[in-house]
Amino acid sequence: MSEDYASLEGFILEKMREAKVPGLSISIVADGRTEYERGFGFRDILSGLPATPRTLYGIGSVTKSFTALAVMQLVEEGKIGLDDPVDKYVPTVPKPFGESPRIRHLLTHTSGLPALGYAEAFGGGFTGSDDAWLPVCSPEDVITFMQDAQDWAVCRPGEAYFYLNEGYVLLGYIISKLARTSYEEYVQQKILRPLRMERTFFTKMDVDKENDRATPYIIDREGKHIPSNFPYGINPDGGLVSNVIDLTKYIEMCIGRGEFEGKRLVAKKTFEAIEEPRINLPYEYFGNEAYGFGWRITPDFYKYKLVGHGGSVDVHTAYVGYIPERRIGVAVLANPSNYSLSQIGMYAIAQLIGIDPKSLPFVKKDNILNKLQGQYETYKGTIKVNIKKSGDLLIAEFKDKYRENMVPLIPEKLEEDRALFFTISDGAKVPSEFHIGKEKTEWIYERYKALKK
């Protein structure tokens, strides 16, 4: 254990225990070079095999940043323009309100189309978790799937952000047409090989040759680990399989503004354009979060620009983030998909810039929600209520021999000594309040007061 990372390691193990994560791998870049790497838990539970920094996992939508980089390489070469209409390359592309999206709209998820759910149905078919089996095996299949989606549009291209996996599949198809080779071969030759990402793959055949690979797991409703399958087949939106050692090389290139070990993948100006905030996201954690080309941008992460992206393929999950100004970054991979690794990534980055990670909004929120969990009783134990955390909410369970009532408590304001929630009853907003003291915690709800036992 590194003394410098003891707090981070404790946080990781705590979150793995809470979310029942089997295995996790992490690497950290400081001053542009790998400073720390470690595996936690099991890459395979049944065999008792440990996760290591070399363990292979699917990186999901982190792949989108590779696709965006490939597009920008072609822009530099003059083979494509950001304002080119997509129907120039894919004639059957849906045209929201009669207007073809532009290449920049696919890069920024602003095509006007909402998510069509191909990736969810595609992945669910592999894991057996969904009945909506969608037999698509290529970008051409996805293009056929989405050709009738024109009337599904919500707005004109460029007007709003709707995360669209299908848009990145289209970009991969366009890359293959312009490069006159497969999308996978292009990425391999133009990105992975120059970065010496020698254990980053697209195919099951390549992954199966490697011994150090993570078993895909589904965590079911009862918290059991169910070995499952990885969804191979369609790649531009989320098909890469990698490891944190290789991903640190990718981060080093990002910090180097497109350059790695003297090799330049794109011009500095082009790379900085990739990180430019293009469209505000419909949710905020730190304020003014936006999407660039294949990356999410947080302009003010404790006064620094944080560039990052998460990824999930039902059975594996990922996060890569970096602060170019400080030349630091982190890659985190795990082998279920039930916990957001961005929280571990941001915890590490906060620590690297000298910020107490406990001040992070999600850490404060989780600490308070965890503190409020437990058994509560009204006056002389007349009513007993169990309060438990469920994601970002609390659930109040009222049970007796014959009945059960589950009341969701939605947080409004969370402080160390006072937490305000609300629920909806008969169409009305009903407040709920916790007072948190050193000796006791009390809950006020409707006409009741209850103390935590």
Residues 224 and 289 in one domain: yes
Q: In terms of C-beta density within 10 A (0-12 exposed, 13-18 middle, 19 or more buried), how is residue 302 classed?
A: middle
Structural domain of residue 392, as residue ranges?
A: 366-452
Residues 328 and 390 in one domain: no
What 432-438 contacts at long range (C-beta under 8 Å, 24+ apart), as own/partner pairs, is: 432/396, 434/372, 436/368, 436/371, 436/372
Residues 333 and 404 in one domain: no
Q: Count Cβ atoms below 10 Å from residue 77 Cβ, excluding itself.
A: 10
- The set of residues, in sequence order, having a beta carbon less than 8 Å from that of 39 and lying 6+ positions away, is 23, 24, 25, 26, 50, 51, 52, 53, 55
Residues 120 and 75 in one domain: yes
Can you give the CATH number for the domain in which 116 is found?
3.40.710.10
Residues 203 and 72 in one domain: yes
Can you give the CATH number for the domain in which 443 is found?
2.40.128.210
The overall average pLDDT reported for the chain is 94
Q: Count Cβ atoms below 10 Å from residue 140 Cβ, excluding itself.
A: 12
Global pTM value: 0.93
What 80-88 contacts at long range (C-beta under 8 Å, 24+ apart), as own/partner pairs, is: 80/174, 80/178, 82/107, 86/111, 86/170, 86/174
Last residue of a domain, one of 359, 379, 409: 359
Question: Which has the closest alpha carbon to 216: 344, 117, 127, 136?
Answer: 127
- The set of residues, in sequence order, having a beta carbon less than 8 Å from that of 381 and lying 6+ positions away, is none
Q: What CA–CA distance (Å, rounded) separates 257 from 24?
A: 28
Q: DSSP string spanning 77-135?
A: TTS--TTSBGGGT-TT---GGG-PPBHHHHHTT-SSPPP--HHHHHHHHHHT--S----
Residues 374 and 328 in one domain: no
Residues 347 and 406 in one domain: no
Q: Which uninterrupted H or E stretch holds 415?
A: none
DSSP state of 348: H
Residues 200 and 292 in one domain: yes
358 token code pair: 């406990």
Bridge pairing between strands 328-334 and 374-377: unpaired
pLDDT at position 156 is 97
pLDDT at position 49 is 98
Q: What is the largest CA-CA distance in the chain?
A: 77
Residues 286 and 406 in one domain: no
Helices 165-179 & 63-76 angle (0-180, nearest 10): 40
Strand partners, 39: 25
Please state the domain count of the chain: 2
81-to-75, 89, 292, 427 alpha-carbon distances in Å:
6, 12, 16, 51
pLDDT at position 1 is 42
Q: Count Cβ atoms below 10 Å from residue 428 Cβ, excluding itself.
A: 8
Residues 108 and 70 in one domain: yes
CA 151 to chain centre: 29
Residues 329 and 397 in one domain: no
Residues 441 and 383 in one domain: yes
Last residue of a domain, one of 305, 333, 359: 359
Last residue of a domain, one of 359, 381, 416: 359
pLDDT at position 124 is 78
Q: What CA–CA distance (Å, rounded) separates 109 from 293?
A: 9
Query: Which residues, given as ranges, of the chain have pLDDT below 50?
Result: 1
